[in-house]
Structure 1
Amino acid sequence: MALAHILIVEDDAEISGPLERFLRINGLATTAIASAEDAASVLASDEIDLVLLDLMLPGEDGLALCRRLSAANGPRIIMLTALSEPTDRVVGLELGADDYICKPFDLRELLARIRAVLRRPLPAQGRPRQTEAAYRFSGFAFFPQRRFLRSPAGLRVPLTGAEADLLLAFCQHPREVLSRDTLISLTRGEGFAIAVRSVDILVSRLRRKLANDDLAAEIIRTVRSDGYVFQPRVLAE
């Protein structure tokens, strides 16, 4: 954890300054910048593990940067936002953010969320590739290290970090009834505070990406009041 490098993209120095000092005190390397344009140069030259991303930036906004990083399988993203409406949060998650936290925020809570996100497997980028785990089900092939999902037709299905974490949880616990709280624990860690409605939204998104006309039954089945079941037989390699 001490080697993790956090990029803070925040144009308010009264927020970024204390945040940078706090994270360094707690063993994280940090770089603080004020715009999406500056982020591009840092990301091109440094290995960044996680981006703390303000949404309301000068020039290119945080949502646009989030979209670009997600499309490029970039580092993990936690959004820092003054927008607290559920729809604003959903938009951020849809674009590929791994988490969000509303301003004003507690530094200790943010640190806990950073550590929870960093505990998840990161894509192997620019590193020697070792034998990579793969899960096969219903004609799909899922490679969790790279967040790579291949459809039965051989096409790549894009996944956000949160969707990949959810699919990994399902692949590791096939044909089990998993409650929403269990899914939160498996994907985010014990004691992580997130609305169960967010789990339903994430499952719905993953369901759409796993839709296949050749399948007689849905891959993720809803069990009323209990949670979800990942129905296919999963072969782990």
Structure 2
Amino acid sequence: MNRISRPLVLLVDDDLAETDGLRSFLSDFGFTVQVAQDSETVQRLIASERPQLVVMDLVLSRANGLALMQQLKRDAQIPVILASRRNDTADRIVGLELGADDFMCKPFEPRELLARMRAILRRLPEREALPAAAPRGLQVGRWELRRDERRLVSADEEVVSLSASEYRLLMAFLAAPRMVLSRQQLMTTARGRDMRDLDRGIDLLVSRLRRKLEDDSTAAPLIRTVRGCGYIYEPPNPAREWTPAMAHRAAPAHRLSGAQAYA
């Protein structure tokens, strides 16, 4: 069969037993399947094989799943389905708002994955006919975030550069305004690693981002600490802030109540 009748899908996952099972299942339903475990292999296969779809685990030991997904969306415009064993509303919202075409929680039924893949591929000719969206700035307090440059620019042209980790952390907050994000969620987003012993590391990263976003003219903190829970981003002017697509919004796991204290 040719490539038109057998779409090529790239599975990106550390779990070889799982990918072997999915490879066999999807092959039986007319797909050509390739497997990668790290960003170097993903980039090589994207360049040489040009898969029509990528199914990627959110947490990879040798790559940052969110950063890799964003790179694929930016450079290759390839549909990406994210998967994760952490069934957390905030993870799903952040993944979808940062560009994923779909999000599935593991373990999932292979037939459901198949149905979601087919649904995305049915839309593919329509998606490819559309012009690529031009990069646009996002309002973050007194700053405009220029995503294509990874910089903050003020109205008087003051410029502040963001590191890769600071940028991913800020995008996670923007994707989930007024939602408490745990330190573990933020660590995975910013560093791409599922680590539970580096709370101080994410605290320092949040502190650096705060110093870049806020100054004496800031009326109220943009990022607040929620004791015992994590952090929350509170846009000062909701009408001017980036609003996540309502279609991807679900009831968050942690909403603030009046009893919760802020640091």
Normalising by structure 2, report the TM-score.
0.49
Q: Residues 202 and 59 of structure 1: is their aligned pair in 2 closer, same or farther, counting only changes over 3 Å?
A: same
Instruction: Encode CA deviations 1:79-98: one digit per residue, 9 max, x unaligned.
Output: 11112111000111111100
Question: Quick one: distance in 2 between partners of 1:63 and 1:57?
Answer: 10
Residue 202 (structure 1) aligned to one of 233, 242, 245:
245
1:146 maps to what in 2?
A: 131
Question: Quick one: distance in 1 between partners of 2:31 and 2:247?
Answer: 35
How many Å apart are 1:35 and its aligned residue? 1.6
1:75 maps to what in 2?
A: 78
- Pairs within 5 Å for 1:42-191: 42-122=45-125, 124=128, 145-148=130-133
1:18 maps to what in 2?
A: 21
Unaligned runs of 5+ in 2: 137-146, 149-242, 249-263
Question: Quick one: distance in 2 between partners of 1:201 and 1:150?
Answer: 16
Matched residue count: 141
Instruction: Encode CA deviations 1:140-196: one digit per residue, 9 max, x unaligned.
Output: xxxx52343599xxxxx99xxxxxxxxxxxxxxxxxxxxxxxxxxxxxxxxxxxxxx
> Is residue 10–residue 54 contact of structure 1 (8 Å, CA) maintained in 2?
yes
Structure 1 residue 7 corresponds to structure 2 residue 4 = no
Question: In the alignment, residue 96 of structure 2 is paired with which amino acid?
Answer: L
Question: Quick one: distance in 1 between partners of 2:103 and 2:32?
Answer: 20
How many Å apart are 1:66 and its aligned residue? 0.7
2:209 maps to what in 1?
A: none
SS at 2:124's partner residue?
coil
Ranked by relative contact order (alpha carbons within 8 Å, sequence separation 6 or more), the top structure is 2
SS at 2:9's partner residue?
strand
Question: Quick one: distance in 2 between partners of 1:112 and 1:204?
Answer: 19
Question: Quick one: distance in 1 between partners of 2:13 and 2:84?
Answer: 10
Q: Residues 145 and 3 of structure 1: is their aligned pair in 2 closer, same or farther, counting only changes over 3 Å?
A: farther
Q: Residues 20 and 203 of structure 1: is their aligned pair in 2 closer, same or farther, counting only changes over 3 Å?
A: same
Question: In the alignment, residue 31 of structure 1 is paired with which amino acid?
Answer: Q
Percent identity between the aligned chains? 34
Question: Quick one: distance in 1 between partners of 2:121 and 2:31?
Answer: 11
Q: How big is the alpha-carbon RMSD for the aligned residues of Structure 1 and Structure 2?
A: 2.7
SS at 2:21's partner residue?
helix
Question: In the alignment, residue 84 of structure 1 is paired with which amino acid?
Answer: N
Q: Residues 150 and 79 of structure 1: is their aligned pair in 2 closer, same or farther, counting only changes over 3 Å?
A: closer
Question: Quick one: distance in 1 between partners of 2:247 and 2:10?
Answer: 31
